């Protein structure tokens, strides 16, 4: 007995003969997965934006703090220089 075969038609023919009813649940799963991917992409984008906002806020706070320290250091340095320039010896101990 000879077999009749058409090259390249085996899998598509098998799929057609097995019925397309099995494809509907798979399509529903694919659609659900696509919705999940879309939701996850949106969540990732929102998380990135929130992280960037937090980083920007931290940078602004650090710069503000640094500026405050610079101003305080300048004030201390100015007071120290005025004290040394006044000729007062109260800052240094007297020699024995």
Q: What is the pLDDT of residues 59-96, one digit of tens each?
A: 999 988 888 888 888 889 989 888 888 765 555 555 54
By the 8 A CB rule, do 49 and 57 touch?
A: no
Q: What is the pLDDT of residues 26-62, one digit of tens each?
A: 999 999 999 999 999 999 999 999 999 999 999 999 9
- Residue 46 forms part of a structural domain: yes
- Residue 54 forms part of a structural domain: yes
- Residue 39 forms part of a structural domain: yes
- Residue 48 forms part of a structural domain: yes
- Residue 68 forms part of a structural domain: yes
- Residue 3 forms part of a structural domain: no
pTM for this prediction: 0.47
The total of structural domains in the chain comes to 1
- Which structural domain range is residue 56 located in? 32-82
- Residue 9 forms part of a structural domain: no
List of residues 6+ apart from 6 with CB closer than 8 A:
13
- Residue 89 forms part of a structural domain: no
Structure tokens belonging to residue 11 = 């899998």
Angle at 62 between CA 61 and CA 63, to 5 degrees: 90
């Amino acid at each position: 007995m000879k077999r009749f075969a058409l090259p390249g038609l085996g899998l598509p023919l098998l799929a057609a003969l097995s019925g397309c009813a099995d494809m509907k649940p798979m399509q529903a799963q694919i659609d659900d997965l696509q919705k999940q991917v879309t939701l996850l992409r949106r969540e990732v984008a929102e998380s990135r934006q929130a992280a960037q906002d937090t980083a920007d806020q931290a940078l602004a706070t650090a710069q503000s703090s640094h500026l405050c320290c610079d101003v305080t250091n300048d004030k201390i340095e100015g007071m120290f220089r005025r004290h040394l320039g006044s000729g007062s010896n109260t800052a240094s101990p007297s020699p024995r």
